[in-house]
Every structure is written in structure tokens, then in C-alpha cells.
Chain A
Amino acid sequence: MNGGHNLSEAEKKRIEELEFEPGPVPPLRPVDRFGFLKPAGTGAEASSKPPAKPQSEREREERRLRKWRKMIGVGGTDWKHYVRRKPHVVKRRIRKGIPDCLRGLVWQLISGSRDLLLMNQGIYEQLVVYETSAAELDIIRDISRTFPSHVFFQQRHGPGQRSLYNVLKAYSVYDREVGYVQGMGFLAGLLLLYMSEEDAFWLLVALLKGAVHAPMEGLYLAGLPLVQQYLFQFERLVREQLPRLGSHFEEEVINPSMYASQWFITVFSYSFPFSLELRIWDVFLYEGVKIVFRVGLALLKYCQDDLVKLPFEKLVHALRNFPEDALQPDVLLPMAYSIKVSRRLEELRQEYIMMTNPLPQAEQLIKQTSPRDQRTEQQTSLDSDLIFLDNWISPALQKVCGTKIEWVPCRKLSWRWNSKPTPGDLQRFHFDRSHAIDHEASCIDEEGSAEPVALVDDDSKQEGEARKADSRPDRGKKKISLAPKPASFSTGEIAFEEIAEDVYGLERRAGTRLNASAADIASTSTSRHICPSGQRKFSATPTPEWPDMFEINAAETIEMFENDRDLMRITDEQLREVKYHKMTKEPVTRFAAEDVEVNISFPREGISTRSRSSGIKPHLSSPLSKKGKSSHVVDNPQPNPQPNDVNLNTTVSTEEE
């Protein structure tokens, strides 16, 4: 099967060979930029150099790399800090692709494998050197069949094959229940192209045991339980999200096990273009398995028009051979990001568990395996919003109001600003998060420290500050402009509520989080609580003291809206409506500050007080505790307003109207 690789009875001998005798170094052949041999047919083009990149692109890449280096710090020292403060920036940058030269390090940082390695020094060596595994022969047989076209794994018994063997064997010893399953080799192989054996091993452990996201070991355990579950979920998602294709599949009796099992088992590392695999893995390690569903759905969606025409046999063939244009990362991934799956995935997971287990066990299972992925993500969003507000909004308000601003937790679904600015002081907010984040990022990148520039208030007296901020050259999107004089805004319009939700998505997210914890405590199913019916209404009670306007950029709003669609239970139709509304009618939407009810307020010391009054005992520690405060649940019904401890330089930029 594997050309020229003999596997006979005397395989023990082969293990020894593997230890001692590398085979001949294969002759030099042209490879692509990732080290894969070029297909024989393209030999002619292979020898010619790829066209040099234009200067501008090179510069852009260099800039990008600099940003990444700053974000990571020396040897990853700044990483955690950065992620905690700006998870959105990190997420966005990762989605654009991790620079190849930093990939190995970043993968270790985002997967949690770094920590595992540090906590378990010496274990790997023990596993490799002293233990034996029943799977050794199986592993050896597959070694030369894993990425056979990559130079690193070409040489028989060479360093690549040897590392691959060691990692797989170590894992099969580390977890004898899983042992070795074909498919794991692709995971390990991919990792080994970017890191050392030991690092790759711990990353494998992190994934299978679930260091950050839900454990993956169910993909490989006897009966492949997680594969079955994922296939079930995927089939349903296809039917729901691509109904035309779904019913065609049904007619032709196509099920996802015919084409998608390897997507899940190898996380797309089996038969896709390598550049795409890497981009998927970047996101997979940071955001979890739902990217696999998303990419799968995006592929089907992209090819839907062709697929629905095909009869069974051609369909199966097509599902295993997607056209090249569908597999371009910059086409496929944005499409994948736009497909929302989190909420349905969780519901379908529970449905699957209920379906495949007797009732008492099923409930137990659902309880035990709370959706870790989802919770971390919500938590991160919440964290980031709070941090964002702290860094950006508070300073501005503080300057304007002359009082400290505290974001305090309120009732479950409503938020209150602790210290109300004096009426009249504040003329207008301009809130554009993309600007804010980009600006902040660029400040950090260029100056090594964050310099949040917050809201704008036209009539406030901060011109000096503003000039200071503006005088810095080359700040990218830092400029925060002012809105024209506000038009009136009817609170009855659909856009209002949605925009308000977008801007202060915190309310929603915090609600989510409270509910998630409530679910844990009350031992009830989580999904029912995650977003109670989605009809959180903003109390839009205009107060006469607040005649001011918020302004939001439509594109950004839509993006945020789409991003949080899962949590908000927005239907396609609603989304379309919003898009339509925002794109056509209100490229920039303004609404009065009081409409968003300056009731909006944000937890600072953990979620507490009012949530208690609604019968929920909070147990999650405060995200902001990471800033050095104690990380305990605040049981105190009246959270102590703390001085704003943002240890960053803050600048309030203002402009005259």
C-alpha cells in the first residue's frame, strides 16, 4: 500500500531500526512554501521562483508581524495579559491568520499546552523512553503514510518520522483507553511542523483532554461517540441552515458520515490544502470545534448550487472533491465566520444525549458536560466589554463628570451606571467600537503601551488633551469623529432596540452569564437559560436631562449583530430586516443617550447583588479580578465602588463641533 515500505512479521526489528538507522535522505525535489513536494506535473513551474510580493504587501506583513510580536511579548510573557484585556483584538487577529513564524508559539499559548508542559516536566521523556504501548506496530505502519508528501516526513526513519512515532506512542501510553487511532497522526504531524516533539505531545493532550475547550478524546474512543454526535449535529445543521441542500441530501440518502467524518476526526488536517488547514487550526485552537462545523457548512453553502443538481454517486464524489476556488482561505473563512452555530450546537448536543441515553443518565450527562466552549466565550466577551468600558468609557466620563465612574452589576437583565454624569455636561457620545479597538491596538503596537482614547464630548473642555492625542503621527483609525447634530429617533423602531443591544451587548452577555451559572447551580438544562427568549427590552425612557445622542456605525453594528446572533436568537429574517434597515435607511444611526438609558452599567466586582434578588447565586469570579483585585464572589448587596484602577494612560480626545 505504501510504496516501498516493507512491513513484515519481523516488525519488532523495525522498531529498532527506527531507533537507530535513518533511511537514505530522499533526493531534493521542489517543495512549496510549507515544505510539501510539488506534484510531479508542475515541475517546470516549480523551478521558477514565485513572483515577488509587491512592496506594499511585504510592508503590511511586516507591520502585522510587529503587532503580533508585541502582543505576545518575549517568549509569550505578555500573551495572557493581552488576551485578558483584549480578547476581541486577539480573536480578530487570529481569524486573519497567525503569522507563520509565530504559529508554533501562539498555538501553544492559546491551546493551554504551554501550561501543561510546565506543570509536567519530565513526563514526556518517561513516556517515550520507558513505557511500551500495544499500539506500537500500528503506529509504525502508519508513520510513512502520514503527510507522505511533506519533506519533513519523507525520509524513512528520519527525524520527522521518528518524532511522529514518539509523540503518538507517548500519547498511546499516556491515555491507554484512547491508545492510537488513525487520524491522530495527522494532528500530531501538523503540530510537529511547528513545534518540538514534547510541545506537540502536550498540545495533543490539551486538545484531547480539554485544557481550554471541550475534550476531543471522544473522537477516538471506542465507538467514536463524539464523531457520532458531531455527525448528528452536522446533519441537522445542514438541514436547518441549507434547507435546499438538506432536502436534496435527504432525497439522495446522503448522510454526513459519507463525507464529513474525517473533517471532525482530523480537524480538516487530512485532505485539504495546507494553507487552509493552518488557518482553520488557528481558529480551532482559539475558538474550539465549532469552526469545524462552520467551515463544513460554508463549504456546502459555497457549492450548494452545484450540489443540488447532482445524483447520488456524483454527489458523494463532489463532497470529497471540492473545487479549488471553494478552498481558498480568504473566501471560505469569512463565509464560515458568518455562519452561526453555537446555540444550535448546544441544543442539538443535548438532544443527542437525550436520544442516545436513558433519561436519568442523559440528564446527568448534560449536567456534567456543561458547554465549556460556550461559557468561556461568553465569559471572554463579558470580560472584554468590561475592560473596554473601563479603559475607554470611564476615563471620558470621569473627565466630563468629574466623578469616578463605576460599573456595577445590577439586576439580571438591566444595568445601571453607578455615577450619573451631571446633566448637560455631556453633549454627545460617539461610540464606535471598531475605531476604538483598532485605535487602541495601534497605540499599543506603536508605542508599547495602551493609550485608550475614549468617548468624545463636543463641548467638554478637554481640548488640550485632544490635541495631545491628535498630535501623535500616524495613528491609523484613532480619530474619533463627531456626529452631526442628531436627528430625532423613534424608540419604537426595531433598529433602536437592536442597536442598543449591540452597543451595550454587555447587558445581554452578562445576562447570559448569570443564567449560565444559574443553570449550573439549579442543575437545569443550560440552553433554556442562556438567552431567555431574547426579548430583552431596553427601557427606553427618555429623561429630559439627557438630550444627548449616541451614534453608531452601521457596518459595525451589523457585524456585532451577526456575531452575537446565536445568543440573541435572531432568525434569518430578522437579520435581513436589520441589515436592510441599517444599510438603506440609517448608515449612521443616532439615538439619544437616555434611550439607552444611562441605566446601563457594568459589573466591576463580579456579578452580584441584584442577581441575588432574582434568586440566583452568582459563583463566577469577577473577570476584572485579574487586574489584581480579589477574585471572589461579591455577596455584598451593594458592591463597593472602587476607584478606577485602570493602570493605563488615558486620554480623552475631544473635538469642537
Chain B
Amino acid sequence: MAGNSGPEFDHIFKLLLIGDSGVGKSSLLLRFTSDTFDDLSPTIGVDFKLKLVTLSGRRLKLTIWDTAGQERFRTLTSSYYRGAQGVILVYDVTRRDTFTDLSEVWLKEVELYSTNPDCIKMLVGNKVDKDAERVVSKQEGIAFARQYGCLFLECSAKTRANVQLCFEELVQKILDTPSLLADTKGVKKNLLRPEEPYNPQAAPGAGNCTC
């Protein structure tokens, strides 16, 4: 473990995965962190994974919160938006309702609870391996991303297509956004914490994230 004297990383980022139940958030994360694919149980509350990556010569520690998609759990997940530099909005390309819920539900949640005005949003259409069942086209995804100022990728946690890229692009964008890099050296802990008490920017509903 790195002591306080020499951190093992240059930046520490907090990322968040949101989206309807069953769209593949946990599978995406599992593919990214351990390059495996498995039958996963529904996420209850929140899950957490840690991944060290090196990007553009910088060593990054990614702390990734994976949230339960079911509506009932939103009371538990809402506090995890705070301080996140990146949010990944996931939908299932074979279920249209998961796509429409992004604007109906999930973007609103981000607006309401996120505290980083410049936080990067990444739209991800999962399960492209099921091409025969696809109901949301890539064009729709692109249009959505453009409208709401998000990055966009389609991927498959099952075949691993684009999964690494999702996270890399998101993280790269964070690295390119100077305002997000403040306090990511791991010195100030509060950016990581969902419920740190003294966040000066904690003004819910600031709504800056719609970009």
C-alpha cells in the first residue's frame, strides 16, 4: 500500500454507473475490471470496484460505483453522485424503455444529485451482440448524446467489444478537463465520498451537468 509519502497514482477519479435494472451495468464493470463475463445477480444497493490504469502516461486510480437500477433503490443510490467526475449512463439496445428512461429518469437524477458542474457523461448502449433483437439504433444513440452533451459508444460486455474504450474515453475526457482535475490527487478525500459533510459545492439541483 502506498503511504502518504509517495502515492502510487497521479489522479484518483470517482466514476458512477447508472441506468435501468438489467441493462448490464455490473457486467460492463466486471468486464472492465477483470475481463470476465458471468451470470451476475442483480445489484442490491451499490457495488464498488477499484481499477488502476495508466493513460497518456498518467497513473490513474479509478473508483467505480455500480448502482442498483431498480427504482426502489434510488433512495440508497442518490448520495453516490456527489463528487463524481464521470457518469456512465447505460441502456440496453434491445429494450427501448431503458433508452427512454435515460432522459426521463437518469439524466434528471444526475442533474439533481451531481455536484461537479463539469462532470463528464458517457452514454453507453450495451448488448450489441444481440443484433437480431436490437430496437435502438446507433443513430438514435448518437442523436441523444449530441442533444445532452454526452460521449457515446455502443458495446457488449459479453463479447468485450468497446468496453475498455468506454472507460478510456471517459477518463481521457476527464483528464482533458482541468476543472475536474482539482482535488484528484488523493489528498482531499472528500471528492470520493458520497456523503462528505463539508463539500462547499454541495448545492443539489445546480443542474450544470446537462452541459
Residues of A near any B CB (own CB < 8 A)? 1-3, 6-9, 138, 141-142, 144-149, 181-183, 185-186, 220, 222-224, 227-228, 252-253, 255, 257-258, 261-262, 265-266, 270-271, 309-314, 316-317, 320
Q: Known contacts A224-B72, A227-B76, A257-B46; can you find 5 more A-B pairs with CB under 8 A?
A: A1-B24, A3-B39, A8-B133, A253-B189, A253-B196
**Of B39, B79, B196, most A-chain CB atoms within 10 Å:** B39
Q: Tell me the bound Cα distance from A224 to B72 in angstroms.
A: 7
Q: Tell me the bound Cα distance from A257 to B126 in angstroms.
A: 28
- Asked whether, in the complex, the Cβ of A149 is within 8 Å of the Cβ of B130, the reply is no
Quick one: which of A7, A142, A222, A313 contacts B63, CB cutoff 8 A?
A313
Q: Does B204 touch A at the CB level, under 8 Å?
A: no
| 28 A–B contacts, CB within 8 A, in A order | A1-B26, A1-B92, A1-B127, A1-B157, A2-B22, A3-B39, A7-B22, A7-B94, A7-B95, A8-B94, A8-B95, A9-B96, A138-B70, A142-B42, A145-B42, A146-B42, A148-B41, A181-B72, A182-B43, A182-B68, A182-B70, A183-B44, A186-B41, A223-B75, A253-B189, A258-B194, A262-B45, A271-B41
Provide the residues of chain B in CB contact with A313, threshold 8 Å: 12, 50, 61, 63, 192
Q: Tell me the bound Cα distance from A310 to B43 in angstroms.
A: 25
Q: Tell me the bound Cα distance from A148 to B79 in angstroms.
A: 30
- Asked whether, in the complex, the Cβ of A261 is within 8 Å of the Cβ of B76, the reply is yes
Provide the residues of chain A in CB contact with B158, threshold 8 Å: 3
In the complex, how many angstroms separate the beta carbon of B4 from the nearest chain A beta carbon?
Answer: 9
Q: Tell me the bound Cα distance from A228 to B72 in angstroms.
A: 13
Provide the residues of chain B in CB contact with A309, threshold 8 Å: 1
Provide the residues of chain B in CB contact with A220, threshold 8 Å: 72
**Of A147, A255, A262, A310, most B-chain CB atoms within 10 Å:** A262
Provide the residues of chain A in CB contact with B75, threshold 8 Å: 223-224, 228
Quick one: which of B21, B40, B44, B197 contacts A262, CB cutoff 8 A?
B44
Q: Tell me the bound Cα distance from A312 to B133 in angstroms.
A: 42
Q: Which of B125-166 contact A (CB under 8 A)?
A: 126-127, 130, 133, 135, 157-158
Q: Which of B177-206 contact A (CB under 8 A)?
A: 189-190, 192-197
Q: Tell me the bound Cα distance from A266 to B70 in angstroms.
A: 15
Provide the residues of chain B in CB contact with A262, threshold 8 Å: 44-45
In the complex, how many angstroms separate the beta carbon of A226 from the nearest chain B beta carbon?
Answer: 12
- Asked whether, in the complex, the Cβ of A145 is within 8 Å of the Cβ of B79, the reply is no
Closest to A266 in B: B44
Take A8-B133, A253-B193, A312-B192 as given contacts and tell me if A146 and B41 are in contact as well, using a CB distance cutoff of 8 Å: yes
Q: Does B176 touch A at the CB level, under 8 Å?
A: no
- Asked whether, in the complex, the Cβ of B39 is within 8 Å of the Cβ of A257, the reply is no
- Asked whether, in the complex, the Cβ of B37 is within 8 Å of the Cβ of A3, the reply is yes
Provide the residues of chain A in CB contact with B21, threshold 8 Å: 138, 141-142, 182
- Asked whether, in the complex, the Cβ of B22 is within 8 Å of the Cβ of A3, the reply is no
Q: Tell me the bound Cα distance from A222 to B39 in angstroms.
A: 28
Q: Tell me the bound Cα distance from A257 to B127 in angstroms.
A: 30
Quick one: which of B1, B39, B49, B194 contacts A149, CB cutoff 8 A?
B39
Q: Tell me the bound Cα distance from A186 to B45 in angstroms.
A: 14
Using C-beta atoms within 8 Å of the partner chain, give the interface range for chain B.
35 or more
Take A224-B76, A257-B76, A258-B46 as given contacts and tell me if A312 and B189 are in contact as well, using a CB distance cutoff of 8 Å: yes
- Asked whether, in the complex, the Cβ of B76 is within 8 Å of the Cβ of A6, the reply is no
Q: Which of B3-29 contact A (CB under 8 A)?
A: 12, 21-27
Q: Tell me the bound Cα distance from A183 to B189 in angstroms.
A: 32
Provide the residues of chain A in CB contact with B135, threshold 8 Å: 8-9
**Of A7, A141, A266, A314, most B-chain CB atoms within 10 Å:** A7
- Residues of B contacting A: mostly: loop
Residues of B near any A CB (own CB < 8 A)? 1, 12, 21-27, 37-50, 61, 63, 68, 70, 72-73, 75-76, 79, 92, 94-96, 126-127, 130, 133, 135, 157-158, 189-190, 192-197
- Asked whether, in the complex, the Cβ of B40 is within 8 Å of the Cβ of A2, the reply is yes
Quick one: which of A138, A224, A270, A317 contacts B50, CB cutoff 8 A?
A317
Quick one: which of B40, B70, B94, B126 contacts A181, CB cutoff 8 A?
B70
- Asked whether, in the complex, the Cβ of B39 is within 8 Å of the Cβ of A148, the reply is yes
Provide the residues of chain A in CB contact with B73, threshold 8 Å: 182, 224
- Asked whether, in the complex, the Cβ of A311 is within 8 Å of the Cβ of B1, the reply is yes
Take A261-B45, A262-B45, A320-B47 as given contacts and tell me if A252 and B39 are in contact as well, using a CB distance cutoff of 8 Å: no
- Asked whether, in the complex, the Cβ of B44 is within 8 Å of the Cβ of A270, the reply is yes
Q: Tell me the bound Cα distance from A141 to B157 in angstroms.
A: 18
In the complex, how many angstroms separate the beta carbon of A268 from the nearest chain B beta carbon?
Answer: 11
Provide the residues of chain B in CB contact with A185, threshold 8 Å: 42
- Asked whether, in the complex, the Cβ of A253 is within 8 Å of the Cβ of B42, the reply is no
Take A1-B27, A138-B70 as given contacts and tell me if A253 and B45 are in contact as well, using a CB distance cutoff of 8 Å: no
Closest to A231 in B: B76
Closest to B127 in A: A1
- Asked whether, in the complex, the Cβ of B189 is within 8 Å of the Cβ of A144, the reply is no
Q: Tell me the bound Cα distance from A266 to B73 in angstroms.
A: 13
In the complex, how many angstroms separate the beta carbon of A256 from the nearest chain B beta carbon?
Answer: 10
Q: Tell me the bound Cα distance from A148 to B40 in angstroms.
A: 7
- Asked whether, in the complex, the Cβ of B72 is within 8 Å of the Cβ of A145, the reply is no
Closest to A221 in B: B72
**Of B12, B41, B133, B189, most A-chain CB atoms within 10 Å:** B41
Closest to A270 in B: B44
Closest to B14 in A: A313
In the complex, how many angstroms separate the beta carbon of B89 from the nearest chain A beta carbon?
Answer: 15
Q: Tell me the bound Cα distance from A484 to B76 in angstroms.
A: 62
- Asked whether, in the complex, the Cβ of B130 is within 8 Å of the Cβ of A320, the reply is no
- Asked whether, in the complex, the Cβ of B40 is within 8 Å of the Cβ of A265, the reply is no
